[in-house]
Structure 1
Amino acid sequence: MENPIIELHGLTKYYGTVKAVDNLSLKIGKGEIFGLLGPNGAGKTTTILMMLGLAEPSEGQAMVCGINATRHPIDVRRKVGYLPDSAGFYDNMSALDNLMYIGRLNGIPEKEIVSRARSTMEMVGLGGEMHKKAGAYSRGMKQRLGLADLLIRKPAVMILDEPTLGIDPSGIRDFLHLIRQLSRQEELTVILSSHHLHQMQQICDRVGIFVEGRLLAEGNMETLSRSLFGKDSFAVEITVREPLPAAEQLEQQLLQLNGVTGVGIDAATVALSCHTDITPDIVRLFVQNGLNVTGVHKKEYGLDEIYHRFFENNVKKESFQWQVH
């Protein structure tokens, strides 16, 4: 990776005799959404604290925006915004007043503070609610205000720790969409710590899987899936109205498609294993052969299966470590 914005080198943290983080090395690029995935006690929060300069590593170093987080923690926190799982505000003040107060504490010039606070509220979708007292905000609205709290400081990196906790499903969808939009539009690097696998799969460019202080694997969905399940990480099942004529000829045609690694035919059902999703090409071939397709079922290994497989492998054999690049 060229010019990473975050570099962790051999990062290790002991609390007494307990090793909370074990020799963590990781690079995260500018504008990337990276997920820290693992159960409670896996080392995610300790890693975040070391990146923020709030905990000193026992070994190794954390470089954030080119700054050593241990030696220059205040400089790092000028570049990084951190949103905990529950953002706190003055309930008796309006959301706009809260944000302006935060801006003043962070040295934003008085002549800019009102316009910057208003535009930031608009950016996070709270423009119509900015004069409402923060105490009247829902959980989801408070999390959006928490994002505004970070954005008004114009950070290079945002670290979000369980940001969707307690938000309803509709609010979660909107919140995740907002994070992705902000990352792309503002070239923000986002580190998202969570144990909600489906949400992580929706938003993250890459994830790191933590178990017992160790980074077992890191990569995007495709590389993680292939590392565990091999090249046949995608499956498609096609059903047709009548039993298949000339099954051997159809099998040969399917095997010639780029990406198909195996074909099984049983009466009116064809099961294919693939190393990528080429479902449109498969269906097109069926139609060209005059076959009436009545069903298409796709299966791709998701983050839930990937995570649990890595976790099971680690439990079964402690010395077995994965590292995907």
Structure 2
Amino acid sequence: MENPVIELKGLTKCYGPLKAVDDLNLDIYKGEIFGLLGPNGAGKTTTILMMLGLTEPAAGAATVCGYNATTQPIHVKRKVGYMPDSVGFYDGMTALENLMYVSRLNGIPEKEVRLRAVEMMEMVGLGADMEKKTAAFSRGMKQRLGLADVLIKQPEVIILDEPTLGIDPSGVKDFLALIRQLSRQQGLTVLLSSHHLHQVQQVCDRVGIFVGGRLLVEGNMDKLSRNLFAEETYVVHVTFKQPVASPESLEQELLLQPAVKKVTIAGNAVEVACAADITPGIVRFFVNRQFDVTGVQKKEYGLDEIYQKYFENNLTEGTAHEKHGGFFKKSFFKRYNKQ
């Protein structure tokens, strides 16, 4: 396997007695979209700050694009674009002027400044709005402009910290589609931090579940669901025209079928939990026994169930390390994205 673009080994951060990040080990590879999923206060922002060289770990190391983030932060800075959850611009300037200003700060040659800025604006879908002042921009438009700001220096890695906060559902869908498109077309490696389960599941190749400073598990949806719900990975819900006449007998017969682990019968509905996807076989089972099937729904465990499994007793709000993270990410955004 190729070397990881982001490599975190034993990464630990303490604020006094609080262990904000605890022995974090994680590899992220080129072109991958990785979702760091966890509630507020989980340690996501603190992890990102250590990856950017903006705060030092108490132990361990973060290596990004082959550079140690603590000892070689400038090298990391040249390779990585960072967008926090709240992006600020000069309201009295147009979107294009803001982006041209950032281009110059990043050392882009003057003859290329306007061309590069226009290209970025069009890439993020703001080509028709580049002459508008950013004071008139909606939250979603500002996030798109923030993405253009991040991309202006052509980074190899982009880190997005809660990028969809405050955006309407339609805007969120478009923004996530843009992230996936950019990653696939340009081979960008993306780390997306969020506590929005559905959004992470929509766009990420892998996710890591982060709580209390610890990475509890990581993998794609199939891997996570298999690990957590090994005996009930698939659930088939079948409804009939009439109530089930002999539920106990039907339950016993279903439990004899391969891969069936649990059966629940209520009125005219049967729910069958299985270790494999045997939906066609379940349907045939009922049809062959002359049941009038009116509906079949297949359920696969997703992030909602995984989230509940890990977090229902661990949700925390406003812990000290996230407060530190909120201060750092807003203070360093403009300076970080300048080489």
- Range into which the TM-score falls when normalised by the shorter chain: 0.7 to 0.9
C-alpha contact (below 8 Å) 2:80/2:158 kept by paired residues: yes
**Aligned sequence identity (%):** 68
Assess, with a 3 A threshold, how the Cα gap between structure 1 residues 282 and 180 changes in structure 2: closer, same or farther.
Answer: farther
Partner of 1:142: 142
Q: Corresponding residue for 1:323? A: none
> 1:305-316 maps to which residues of 2 (within 5 A)?
305-312=305-312
Deviations 1:270-324 (A, max 9, x none): 4322335454565477668876531123333221221221124769xxxxxxxxx
The superposition leaves residues 189-248 of structure 1 with CA deviations (integer Å, 9 ceiling, x where unpaired) of: 111111112211222221111222111111122222222222322200122336789x98
Counterpart for residue 322 of structure 1: none
Change (3 A) 1:194 1:267: closer
Closer, same or farther in 2 for the Cα pair 1:158/1:292, shift >3 Å? same
Unaligned runs of 5+ in 1: 316-325
Pair 1:66–1:269, CA change in 2 (3 A):
same
Give the corresponding residue for 1:189: 189
Alpha-carbon distance change, 66 to 289 in structure 1, aligned in 2, over 3 angstroms: farther
Check whether the contact 1:81–1:159 (CA below 8 A) recurs between aligned residues.
yes
Alignment of 1:125-136 (within 5 A): 125-136=125-136
Report the residue type matching 2:127 in the other structure: G
Moved more, 223-232 or 125-134: 223-232
Q: Which residue of 2 aligns with 1:10?
A: 10
Q: Distance in 2 between matches of 1:187 and 1:14?
A: 34
Q: Is the 8 A contact 2:233 2:273 kept in 1?
A: yes
Q: Which moved more, 1:216-225 or 1:83-92?
A: 216-225
| DSSP 3-state at the match of 1:210 | strand
Measure the CA separation in 1 of the matches of 2:28 and 2:231.
Answer: 26
Corresponding residue number in structure 1 for 2:71: 71
State the match for 1:117 in structure 2.
117
Matched residues in 1 for 2:212 and 2:101: separation? 40
- Is 1:32 matched up with 2:23? no
Matched residues in 2 for 1:117 and 1:275: separation? Answer: 52
1:14, 1:244 → 2: CA distance? Answer: 59
Aligned residue for 1:177, secondary structure, equals helix
In structure 2, give the amino acid aligned to 1:42: A
1:60 is displaced (CA, Å) by 0.6
Query: Which sections of structure 2, spanning at least 5 residues, go unmatched?
Result: 316-339
The amino acid across from 1:48 in the alignment is I
Cα distance between partner residues in 1 of 2:168 and 2:50 = 31
Amino acid at match of 1:101: Y
Partner of 1:255: 257
Aligned to 2:54: 54
Aligned to 1:173: 173
Distance 1:288 1:132 in 2: 65
TM-score where L is the length of structure 1: 0.86
Which amino acid in structure 2 is aligned with residue 176 of structure 1?
A: L
Task: Give, in whole Å, the separation in 2 of the partners of 1:217 and 1:314.
Answer: 15
The residue correspondences of 1:67-106 to structure 2 (distance < 5 A) are 67-106=67-106
Corresponding letter in the other structure for 2:26:
L
Is the Cα–Cα contact under 8 Å of residues 255 and 262 in structure 1 kept in the other structure? no
Aligned residues: 313
Q: Give the 3-state SS of the residue equivalent to 1:255 in structure 2.
A: coil
Counterpart in the other structure of 2:302: 302
CA distance 1:290–1:75, shift in 2 (3 Å)? same
Quote the offset at 1:152 in angstroms. 1.4
- Which residue of structure 1 aligns with residue 205 of structure 2? 205
Tell me how far 1:158 sits from its aligned partner. Answer: 0.8
**TM superposition shift of 1:174:** 1.3
Higher RCO (CA < 8 A, seq sep 6+): 2
- SS state of the match for residue 93, structure 2? coil
Separation in 2, partners of 1:128, 1:288 = 60
CA distance 1:270–1:57, change in 2 (3 Å): same
